Amino acid sequence: MIHKLDATPETTVDVFSAEQPPVLTIDPGDTLTVHSLDASGYLSPQTTPGEQQPKMFDQARGHCLTGPIAVRGAQPGDVLAIRLVSLTPDPWGWTVAGALKSPITERLGVTDQPAWLLWDLDPDSGTGRCNGGFTRDLAPFLGVIGVAPESSGEHSTIPPRAVGGGNIDCKSLVAGSTLYLPVAVADAMLSLGDGHAAQGDGEVGGTAIECPMTTTLTVDLVRDPRPIETIHAETPEGLITFGFDADLNAATGDALDAMVCWMQAFFDVGKSTALALASTAVDLRVTQVANQTWGVHAILPTGVLA
């Protein structure tokens, strides 16, 4: 079955919650084409830097996401396999730095000194151009793909979670990737959005090229045990594991531990041997420092170890 879901007042949310009624119910193996607004939910592009256009939510509590989508039959202990088929930005986007107080803006001395970039995006050529005349290649992905947490109530979309995902902000999750999300509640309750036309590792200014996005994805259900219990991904770049914590050291350790465990299963070796192999091949990257919980991801590049 192929579904289409547009971003409307009836199909958008700004929290994760198992108690939110689903806007669509799909079967495992179904394909969806989903349109999402930018993270702030702008209904039209800014015409001048910093202009406040109407938004989907007057007082947004988090990212403007499309969902939640119920996956029929999904139960806690299962895993969603989300294959990203294509990601197409709308023709406009924006970036701002210095607008909010954070450890980064305080360290650099740019708190309350916002600088806005407005982008004209050309998905066909794969390029974007901003005010000031700078251009760059596009590499679109979704900043937020997540399922509802186990505990009741409404949960912020801002911090990423090791089980349910959410605001991962990993630029490697491009088309051709499969993201594995452990399910915490019945029917999973998947929401997605926060389109990024391009981003650097770290998302150091707090935003990427924020844009509306049309995403085609296939959602499947995995009941066989996966090699690790936290979120992970298979991407064109390689195998990826994640760590999230307010302490960057802890996030690094979690990402590395998950990768070493995956390599144990993948290569059928002991943990010390897997760590030795990882030391020759695995890259550790700071995913993002923009959220309440910082992220690190470990990458085992495709084909690096025969």
One-letter identity of residue 186: A
Same domain membership, residue 118 and residue 264: no
Predicted pLDDT of residue 17? 96
Give the pLDDT score at 207.
96
User: Is residue 227 in a domain?
Assistant: no
| Core vs surface per residue 260-293: b (16+ CB within 10 A) or e | bbbbbeeeeeeeeebbebbeeebeebbbbbbbeb
pLDDT for residue 100 is more than 90: no
Average pLDDT over residues 157-175: 96
| In a domain? residue 306 | no
Range of the domain at 241: 232-301
Report d(CA 129, CA 132) in Å as an integer: 9
Q: Are residues 23 and 41 in the same domain?
A: yes
The verdict on residue 22 lying in a domain is yes
Q: Choose the final residue of a domain: 203, 222, 241.
A: 222
* 236 in the same domain as 149: no
By percentage, how much of the chain surpasses pLDDT 90?
91
Based on the fold, state whether residues 266 and 207 are members of the same structural domain. no
Does residue 96 share a domain with residue 28? yes
Mean pLDDT of 168-184: 98
CATH number, residue 33: 2.60.120.580
- Which amino acid is located at 71 in the chain? V
Same domain, 261 and 151: no
Q: Does pLDDT of 206 surpass 90?
A: yes
What CATH number is given to the structural domain containing 248?
3.10.28.20
Q: Same domain, yes or no, for 39 and 13?
A: yes
The answer to whether residues 14 and 163 belong to one domain is yes
Structural domains counted in the chain: 2
Given a cut of 90, whether residue 215 has pLDDT beyond it is yes
Strand partners, 26: 71
What are the pLDDT digits (tens) for 264-298?
Answer: 999 999 999 999 999 999 999 999 998 879 999 99
Residue 170 lies in a domain: yes
160 confidence band (pLDDT: 50, 70, 90)? very high
